[in-house]
Amino acid sequence: MRAGIAGLDPAALRRPRVLLWAAAGVVTLAFLVGLEIAARRYGQHGPITDQAREVVFAPKSGTVLYAGMALMMVVFTWRQRFIALGTAIGIDLVFWLVRWAAGAEMMYGNGALIVTLACAVIAVTRRTGRERKLLLTGVGLALLLVAGRKTGYTWLLITAKTRPMVLDQYVATADHALGNPSWVVGRLVAKTGEIGPWILEWVYIQLAVAAVIVALYQFRNVAAERRFPRHHLVRTFLVIGLLGPAFYMIYPVVGPIFAFGADGGRWAVADLWPATAPAVGTPVPMPFDGFTPRNCMPSLHTAWATAIFIHSRKGPLALRLLGVFWLLTTLGATLGFGYHYGADLVAGVVFTLTIEAGLRTLDRGRDRRGLLLTGYGAAVFTALLLAYRFLPVRMADLPWLFGPLVLLSMTSVIYAYVRTTRAWDREAESGSGPAAPRLPKQRRETQAELV
């Protein structure tokens, strides 16, 4: 007697796409376990432990937990959304009262996480077929958004502990070709008084809020259509977060405010940022402390802000303006606070466009133009990192040549991306080109209530 798990077709489990997602799930789990073990080795909680603790203990960011729950709720009816949100707020009020009475650390968000986990249980026990898959997808997006933040913390810890030498002198020297933008913008931000830094800091910290706003717009029809769009911002965000930290290990850089500013303490070359750009010399790897993250190359904040900008382009005017605002203010914050060099930002833009091209190519069945675009973006990204590492003095000596060349290389990737994706969009509207896989007509199944 052969029987599958309730609601699952054994034959469907053997389909290539299902097997691919299963393999991705196994790799993700192994990745999280590996980070957990690495964090424990340095006496810290890993992403799995941190996530589990937030069911009861004060979360680090309640905003992210509620943002994740908002992504999950796109699959619900309005009645179910009110029930889920009200339940989460009620649970948080209980936790708040208990913490207030006990004098413990105050923070909200436990309710959102508990409701999200409860919905996963409901999906497995009370829903079947496509409704189960839909709700589990929503829960998965919510938990992945939160887990991405947790893994980021662990990655930063690992970069600081395993990379005692940093390459800031190389990037700072190469940045002369771009006019030392971090020093320039740093002085401009300092002249704005208190309001400028406050706005930039809020935008920089709340990047996930803008991402969720754009994602909610992309998911606006999920409840009616009972399926998620093939390509969306959350997927790009997760891939950027997964691949980006690997380059922190390859190219460890702490940033100008640490390597050349007061925040670096005795490890800094000198206290130069943002008043005086460092002189051109022969760069060498320099030792740095064991707790400052090596998270500059490429700038993932720039990469994520670029992804928000790209995905907001097809929205209404307000959403497009939000994308422009978040991108420009993120660039201003990364440079103006001394967190990044200009070279980091150029690499971050190319990095995002390459990932976007790869994901969209995957959706189109390995389209030849998409493969060429992805390969070209990867080649430019690699060339930039190699130039920063092995040609920084030459770049600083010939800024009139290498400055425009760096910007031109980034612009060429932008142009190729825009040209290719616009051609894809025209083909999709006209019905020509590689056809997307036809989806069977969705059948609405009776939805079990949350309570």
At residue 106, the pLDDT reads 85
As given in the structure block, the two tokens for residue 248 are 């922190």
List all residues 6 or more positions away from 70 whose beta carbon is below 8 Å from its beta carbon.
212, 216
The model carries a pTM of 0.85
Would you say residue 51 has pLDDT above 90? no
Residue 231: domain span: 164-436
Last residue of one domain, picked from the residues 127, 162, 197: 162
| Same domain assignment for residues 215 and 299 | yes
List all residues 6 or more positions away from 104 whose beta carbon is below 8 Å from its beta carbon.
58, 98
Pairing mode, if any, of strands 165-166 and 286-287? antiparallel
* Average pLDDT across the chain, whole number: 87
Residue range 77-94: mean pLDDT, rounded: 94
Length of the chain: 451
Last residue of one domain, picked from the residues 136, 162, 188: 162
| Same domain assignment for residues 63 and 119 | yes
Would you say residue 17 has pLDDT above 60? no
At residue 223, the pLDDT reads 86
| Same domain assignment for residues 320 and 297 | yes
Would you say residue 3 has pLDDT above 80? no
At residue 60, the pLDDT reads 84
Q: What backbone torsions phi and psi does residue 251 show, to the nearest 5 degrees? A: -130, 75
Number of other CB atoms surrounding residue 383 within 10 Å: 13
Q: How far is CA 406 from each of CA 279, 295, 403, 410, 411, rounded to the nearest angstrom? A: 21, 21, 5, 7, 9
Residue range 159-188: mean pLDDT, rounded: 94
Give percent of the chain above pLDDT 90: 55
Would you say residue 16 has pLDDT above 80? no
- Residues 250-275 have pLDDT tens digits of 999 999 999 999 899 899 999 999 99
Evaluate the omega torsion of the peptide bond into residue 285 and state whether it is cis, within 30 degrees of 0: no
- Residues 299-326 have pLDDT tens digits of 999 999 999 999 999 999 999 999 999 9
Residue range 368-393: mean pLDDT, rounded: 95
Number of domains in the chain: 2
Report the alpha-carbon angle 304-306-310, nearest 5. 115
| Same domain assignment for residues 124 and 213 | no
List all residues 6 or more positions away from 308 whose beta carbon is below 8 Å from its beta carbon.
207, 210, 211, 214, 233, 323, 326, 327
Handedness of CA 166, 170, 176, 177 (dihedral sign): negative
